[in-house]
Structure 1
């Protein structure tokens, strides 16, 4: 599973369709032939009305659900050829998730929450792992909150812990589903800036679902999804 040279898109979708069979023999198609590519360093907003299929698309890209039809390549890997165990391994080392609800474990400290993906991926922790987690929390402005539990942190601080957790394994692809939806403007701007900085510094690609036109205007591209189809894919002039 070599990715030597990395001369490929971080993400490539071809003809992705997703159908569900819910309590009836008739299938309902939610995604209709999605084609999409993300290159290293790209920061892309995914927009569209509620019910347009944005979360379903993120679940397929994030390897949480398999597409019904089409091809999905992540960091050069054809996911159709992988077993469930291989998909889990690829997801763990390649994709970082940031959600609207941070899903931090309340009994663990900020530092312990950030280290969870490392423990899940490798089964143990090293001094270097802890140093990297401490540095990430310092970078997101929480260097003094390492030992605090989620209940002792504000919503914006909890989201920054979640971002540090998503970035601890230096993923090639960051998927963010309304990560600023529950935050005030200042906290939302700080969260966006953190994701943007990592995207630029590490060459990752970022796909962020947002309803905030201010944030979308600061991305490299805006992809609009309506009724399970991409209806627009435009570059943003003078992206920050």
Structure 2
């Protein structure tokens, strides 16, 4: 199935104020603090992403990519340094504040889509809004239907994940990630288990939303073809960032 990347449009997010969408300064992350096996995984990471930026993060296995993505996604907290999303400093936030900011400002796309098998494609796309608002509103339903149309799945909203191909499931996952108008989209090997044609379609789809919505996108990939199509490539080696 060929993806039509021009068939539908997605409402843009509000105009940027010029504040970086993502800003990391001196980020360090250690595990086993205070023990004989204390290990620092990230060593003073500085990184800034602005509106519309589409950046590839590469690096060998064990270099700290997953740790860095977890920190940016507010799933873990840094040992040292500052991390701001859309101008909001996160290192002083409690769990409630982190959860609120994560739900409002960040969208996640993973290699394995993590769709809920008991729910339809439409319900999966609506899930972040339902969790955030506590109810399935008409606005959330309309937004989910619009996004499914935008990813080429207008007629598949009633289907459950098991009835969809791998590429179609990943499109649902992208629609879900975009359902709350996130300022930052994080993608961890989103095309890693797809064939080349489907991977190209998924990548083009993410680039399209990046341009239309103005969100920043950080994509972890081992595919040099896809990395070369990003605005810039950064490499994480032994816990330190370099520009490729």
Smaller-chain TM-score bracket: over 0.9
Q: Find the partner of 1:11 among 7, 14, 22.
A: 22
Q: Partners in 1 of 2:134 and 2:148 — Cα distance?
A: 22
Bigger relative contact order, structure 1 or 2 (CA pairs below 8 A, ≥6 apart): 2
Structure 2 residue runs without a partner (length 5+): 1-13
Shift of 1:21: 1.0
What are the Cα deviations for residues 71-113 of structure 1, in whole angstroms up to 9, with x where unaligned?
Answer: 0011000101211100100000000000001000000000000
| Count, aligned residues | 231
Q: Partners in 2 of 1:98 and 1:160 — Cα distance?
A: 10
Partner secondary structure for residue 230 of structure 1: strand
Q: Partners in 1 of 2:166 and 2:112 — Cα distance?
A: 9
Quick check: 1:6–1:75 contact (8 Å CA) kept in 2?
no
Structure 1 residue runs without a partner (length 5+): 235-240
Q: Find the partner of 1:35 among 22, 46, 53.
A: 46
Give me the TM-score of the superposition, normalised by structure 2: 0.92
Residues 1:64 and 2:71 aligned together:
no
Q: What residue number does 2:140 align with?
A: 129
Q: Find the partner of 1:150 among 143, 153, 161.
A: 161
Q: Partners in 2 of 1:91 and 1:189 — Cα distance?
A: 28
Q: Partners in 2 of 1:17 and 1:29 — Cα distance?
A: 7
Q: Partners in 2 of 1:151 and 1:136 — Cα distance?
A: 20
What are the Cα deviations for residues 14-38 of structure 1, in whole angstroms up to 9, with x where unaligned?
Answer: 0100001199533111101000000
The aligned runs of 1:91-106 (5 Å cut-off) are 91-106=102-117
Q: Find the partner of 1:115 among 118, 126, 138.
A: 126
